[in-house]
Amino acid sequence: MKKIIILLLISLFIAFHSFANSVKENFDPYAISSIISSTSNTPFCYSFLIDYYPNGRVKEKGCQGHYNATGIFVGDWYEYDLLGMLVRTRYYHPDEFSKDYKIIMTYDKNGRVLTKKTFNYSDLYETEEVELNEIPK
């Protein structure tokens, strides 16, 4: 019964927040399922963010998330140049220490991958960024 009440309150809060906030990009309707399944330390997205250049084109977009009581980047982030061409993607995978990582890929003007590197998720545990040879398990 307690879980039902908590889920109802979370649903009402999210619904109220979506109507009160007129900026569509700041609301992620899929966050409800993530909140429900957040009984463990699984990362989830609670706010999709988009940053724009002064010319109106998208500069960067991605998900502000939550992991282990920390607000952080989660999942895929995309960076674009002034013309709207994809220049970099970042995939953030928060996890317990030594299993956390991020993958950064850069692209040329034709959309082909130039580099693909894997690093520890240094922001999560405030450690020095180190390039990894493989994805931690």
To the nearest whole number, what is the mean pLDDT of the chain?
A: 76
pLDDT tens for 28-72 read: 444 444 444 444 466 677 788 999 999 999 999 998 887 876 778
Q: What is the pLDDT at residue 66?
A: 78
CA-based nearest residue to 33, from 25, 42, 24: 42
Indicate yes or no: pTM above 0.85: no
Residue 62's alpha-carbon distances to 57, 59, 73, 92, 98, in angstroms, are: 15, 11, 8, 10, 24
Contact 122, 128 (CB under 8 A): yes
Q: How many residues are given for the chain?
A: 137
Cα gap 3→85, rounded to integer Å: 45
Amino acid found at 122: S
What is residue 17's three-state secondary structure?
Answer: helix
pLDDT tens for 120-132 read: 888 778 888 889 9
CA-based nearest residue to 49, from 65, 36, 33: 65
Cα gap 67→41, rounded to integer Å: 6
Work out the angle at residue 24's Cα, subtended by the Cα atoms of residues 19 and 30, and round it to the nearest 5 degrees: 85
